[in-house]
Every structure is written in structure tokens, then in C-alpha cells.
């Protein structure tokens, strides 16, 4: 099971399991908890960044907002 939890964590971190192999000494519960905390932090980071972009857009003239949004959001 530890390898499954480690694999899941590597997917969340977008890295290979071999790069985080040292974490295999943690229990499955700890690996799953770490994975959950990282996922929550990533979601919070994305929301904060999105809110900051939306707030910054209010300072850009209306005619430029769409082209700037395309550049910023890809």
C-alpha cells in the first residue's frame, strides 16, 4: 500500500516516485495526509492567484481586458 500512497503523492507533486522515495519511510496514513494537505494548499494557491488576477483586471481599461486575460490565463 505504501507504494500506492507514494505514487499518489508523486502524481500530486508532478514528479516521479523515485524522486520522493525517501518518503517511503512514512506510514501510508501519513503519506495520504501529506498528499491531502498538499492538494488543499495547491487549491488555495490557485484560488488566491485567480482572485488576484481578477482584482488586477479592474485596473486595466475595458478594451484591453480581453487580450490581457488571454495572455495571463493562457
Measured distance CA(57)–CA(54) in Å, rounded: 5
Report pLDDT for 2. 64
pLDDT tens-place string over residues 45-68: 999 999 998 888 888 888 888 888
Q: How many domains does the chain have?
A: 1
- pLDDT attached to residue 1: 45
Note whether 35 and 8 are within 8 A (CB).
yes
> Model's pTM, two decimal places?
0.74
Rounded-to-integer distance, Cα 13 and Cα 15, Å: 5
Q: d(Cα 74, Cα 32) in Å, to the nearest integer?
A: 32
**3-state class (DSSP) for residue 15:** coil
Using 50, 70 and 90 to split pLDDT, how confident is the model at 31? very high
Q: Could you report the per-residue pLDDT of 34-44, keeping only the tens digit for each?
A: 999 999 999 99
14: left (phi over 0), alpha (psi -120 to 50) or beta: left
Structural domain for 34, as ranges: 2-73
Amino acid at each position: 500500500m505504501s507504494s500506492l500512497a507514494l505514487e499518489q503523492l508523486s502524481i500530486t507533486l508532478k514528479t516521479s516516485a523515485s524522486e520522493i522515495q525517501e518518503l517511503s519511510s512514512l506510514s501510508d496514513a501519513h503519506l495520504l495526509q501529506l498528499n491531502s494537505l498538499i492538494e488543499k494548499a495547491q487549491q488555495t494557491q490557485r484560488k488566491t492567484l485567480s482572485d488576484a488576477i481578477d482584482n488586477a483586471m479592474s485596473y486595466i481599461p475595458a478594451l484591453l481586458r480581453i487580450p490581457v486575460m488571454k495572455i495571463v490565463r493562457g
